[in-house]
Structure 1
Amino acid sequence: MNFELSDEQQQLSESVRKYLASHYGFEQRKAVIASPQGQSDAAWHAFAEMGLTAIALPEADGGFGGGAVDLMPVMEAFGEALVVEPLLDGIVAGRLVARTGSAAQRAALLPGLADGSAALSLAYLEPGRRYAQVPATTAARSSGAGWVLDGAKSVVVGAASAARLIVSARTQGGTSLFVIDPRAAGVTLNPSRTVDGRRVADVAFRSVQLGADALLGAQGTAQPQLDEALDFACALQCADAIGAMRYAHEATLEYTKTRKQFGTPIASFQVLQHRMVEMLITLEQARSMAILAAARVDGAVDADQRRRAVSAAKVKIADAARLISQESVQLHGGMGMTEELKVSHTFRRLTTAGQRFGDADHHLERFASLD
């Protein structure tokens, strides 16, 4: 497998990194997190202008027809800079609309996502059901020409800033997807902030009245598309973690070269050299698995091959994230836990990366079930 970026991917990666270096530094990021909204409108529109929100959309819908491999360098850059804007969640929601929506639904929702004017977010997790992807407590029933939705979703990233939510619900025949205005009557958002600074919300639906055009695709047929979209998201979450791990390793290596004990840099101590090498090897192994997962998401011969590659990558990335984040903090000493040091924030990013879209235990169990 060729691990090198194409010329176009390299140019995009350099553009994203250049923007983040000049407009999304550590102090600027802290100001964004502390703001009432918890994300930067300026950064979001800059991402849209660079085409990031449109990369994975079909060309027929105003996108670039890209896949997970094309987005990998973007997500690595986001992980390195600890970007909190919900780009991944918008991309995944848009992917579902593009694959299940009618021409009218795609025309109504995807241009706003592509140009940054109307974000989307996916609501699929349910309270008390861990990583279950099949909805159970959120249900929709037909009512006249439309639908009535009841239930709840948890940890919906970017819910408060989204123009529309893509919500999975149990209907007659199976899983269905609905387009819902988060400000509609009967919808209640309980916002909070994750340990790594992202804004999320638990969303409750109480007798929410929906029109017939709220349903994406045919009733009861959405579970395969939802499963594929979440594997796509998981593969890109792995890429985000690779970027964060790379920063943690590089920052720790630089610190050990400058921190002195007994009059000499601690990087000269053999035991610390062994630990730094283990971090690097672990990072490279994890990156290889992340690339394989992205490639399988884009071109697997069947769903099981895709699931196997994604779960294997997530198990490796979760373990690698734990080792590298913990080593980076320990080798920085007490200051590694302070708010003032980016390494501590990277530790939090990698902690949540191990949980998003299923933790190591969840994916190990799924991997075993596919053999």
Structure 2
Amino acid sequence: MAVLNEEQEMLRDMAREWATNESPVAAFRKVRASGAPEAFDREAYTAMAQMGWAGIVVPEAHGGSDFGWLSAGLVVEELGKTLTASPLVATTLAATAIVLGGSEEQKAKWLPKLASGETIGTLAIDEGPHHNPAKIAASVSGGKLSGTKAFVHEAHSTDLFVVAAADGLYLVENGDGVALSTRKLTDQRSHAEVTFDGAAADKLAGGGDSLLDDVLDRARILTACEMLGMAQAVFDTTLEYLKQRVQFNQVLATFQALQHRMADLFGDLAMMRSAVEGGLQALDSGFGIPRAAAIAKSEANRVLHTMSREGIQLHGGIGMTDEYDIGFYLKRARVLEASWGNTSYLRDRFARIGGY
């Protein structure tokens, strides 16, 4: 496990306590039941922003704490454990794009608003059913952007889109020239197809030719943090269930076959944590980020897929019912596995980075 300083330990503990007490899975059930397209609790997100979580990777000069990626990952992991529905990850990634590629004017305009929670941002990258940033057809002419983006996360609450066009990344405010079509995915969160038709666009001109890849690497690592929290929660919940459930007059945890399966999952979880924390440390050090991101997200995909499936299986038939929370993790897992690159895409990317 990563070695944390005292401030990071305090941040992690605060996030854990808040998520457990103020945003348990029951809170997600309420959000789901409301049927609101934005699919999150505004008051809860305001509380997160007031605690400084939306500005962890934003420079102090622009209203953030500049506390580093490991710190941001600690918060996202704890929120992942309780399936907290919020635009925190999406907004953090939008802010990151501006930090990496924005002009001083763009940074001064948007970063304080994103860090304070006043503005919600998200990335709008992919145009097809699978993640493929090499195929971007959206284009800009005369400062107006046109194109369609599929499955944009947190689109219904977004004030600012960071949009990938053929010639770079652009900032587009939600308003004239922007139309949303809701996409219902299995995790019951906010997703939409977003169509831009002559929307005013402001280019992120800094960051060089690698800006899109740099932003996506950060998206992969931060998403892997949420997945790590989910995997830990599934493991803990399943283990607790096996210790309580009695079958054939014996506690399930006493069956050796089930002990072996849980031992395998424990090993997988340790491997996943090592890969994800390695990605966060690469971001903070600035060294080896593309490789670390591919490893972190591909390992998160592998382990959470197995963990969520085994969690359902080890709960037996009741694991398939809505009464038990375990099924929510599997549904969210399948969406996150496809986000910013599935396992085959990331393995191919890792090979290409190595020149193979």
Question: What secondary structure, in the 3-state scheme, does the structure 2 residue paired with 1:136 have?
Answer: coil
Superposition map of 1:126-275 within 5 A: 126-128=127-129, 130-134=130-134, 136-141=136-141, 143=142, 147-170=143-166, 175-184=167-176, 186-210=177-201, 214-217=202-205, 223-275=209-261
* Cα distance in 2 for residues equivalent to 1:316 and 1:268: 30
* Cα distance in 1 for residues equivalent to 2:24 and 2:4: 25
Which residue, out of 274, 298, 314, partners 1:315?
298
Give the Å deviation of 1:33. Answer: 2.3
Maintained 8 Å contact 2:63/2:116 = no
For residues 126-185 of structure 1, the C-alpha deviation after alignment (integer angstroms, 9 at most, x for no partner) is 125x222245210012x3xxx122111111111221111111212xxxx2222212221x
* Cα distance in 2 for residues equivalent to 1:261 and 1:331: 12
Q: Equivalent residue for 1:24? A: 23
For residues 89-126 of structure 1, the C-alpha deviation after alignment (integer angstroms, 9 at most, x for no partner) is 11011111122222222222111111111111111111
Q: Equivalent residue for 1:338? A: 321
Q: Equivalent residue for 1:40? A: 41
The amino acid that maps onto 2:289 is R
Q: 1:30 to 1:111 in 2, by over 3 A?
A: same
* Cα distance in 1 for residues equivalent to 2:115 and 2:300: 30
Give the Å deviation of 1:241. Answer: 0.9
Maintained 8 Å contact 2:98/2:107 = yes
Question: What secondary structure, in the 3-state scheme, does the structure 2 residue paired with 1:53 have?
Answer: helix
* Cα distance in 1 for residues equivalent to 2:56 and 2:303: 28
Maintained 8 Å contact 1:311/1:367 = yes
* Cα distance in 2 for residues equivalent to 1:313 and 1:119: 26
Q: 1:97 to 1:68 in 2, by over 3 A?
A: same
**Residue ranges of structure 1 left out of the alignment (5+ in a row):** none
The amino acid that maps onto 2:4 is L
TM-score w.r.t. the length of structure 1 is 0.91
Maintained 8 Å contact 2:309/2:330 = yes
Root-mean-square deviation (CA, aligned residues, Å) is: 1.6
For residues 314-362 of structure 1, the C-alpha deviation after alignment (integer angstroms, 9 at most, x for no partner) is 2222111121111111010011111121111111122223221101100
The amino acid that maps onto 1:51 is G
For residues 61-113 of structure 1, the C-alpha deviation after alignment (integer angstroms, 9 at most, x for no partner) is 11111332111211111110111212111101111112222222222211111
Superposition map of 1:7-86 within 5 A: 7-35=6-34, 36=36, 37-86=38-87
The amino acid that maps onto 1:149 is L
The amino acid that maps onto 2:110 is L
Q: Equivalent residue for 2:5? A: 6
Maintained 8 Å contact 2:73/2:280 = yes
* Cα distance in 2 for residues equivalent to 1:206 and 1:279: 47
* Cα distance in 1 for residues equivalent to 2:45 and 2:264: 36
* Cα distance in 1 for residues equivalent to 2:327 and 2:221: 24
Question: What secondary structure, in the 3-state scheme, does the structure 2 residue paired with 1:322 have?
Answer: helix
Question: After alignment, is 268-277 or 108-117 more displaced?
Answer: 108-117
Question: What secondary structure, in the 3-state scheme, does the structure 1 residue paired with 2:2 have?
Answer: coil
For residues 235-287 of structure 1, the C-alpha deviation after alignment (integer angstroms, 9 at most, x for no partner) is 11111111111111111111111111121101101001001111111101110
Q: Equivalent residue for 2:349? A: 366
* Cα distance in 1 for residues equivalent to 2:94 and 2:135: 16
The amino acid that maps onto 1:116 is G
Give the Å deviation of 1:223. Answer: 4.2
Question: What secondary structure, in the 3-state scheme, does the structure 2 residue paired with 1:160 have?
Answer: helix
Does residue 97 of structure 1 match 2:89? no
Q: Equivalent residue for 1:117? A: 118
Identity value in percent: 30
The amino acid that maps onto 1:94 is A
Does residue 289 of structure 1 match 2:275? yes
Maintained 8 Å contact 2:173/2:200 = no
Question: After alignment, is 348-357 or 44-53 more displaced?
Answer: 348-357
Give the Å deviation of 1:32. Answer: 1.3
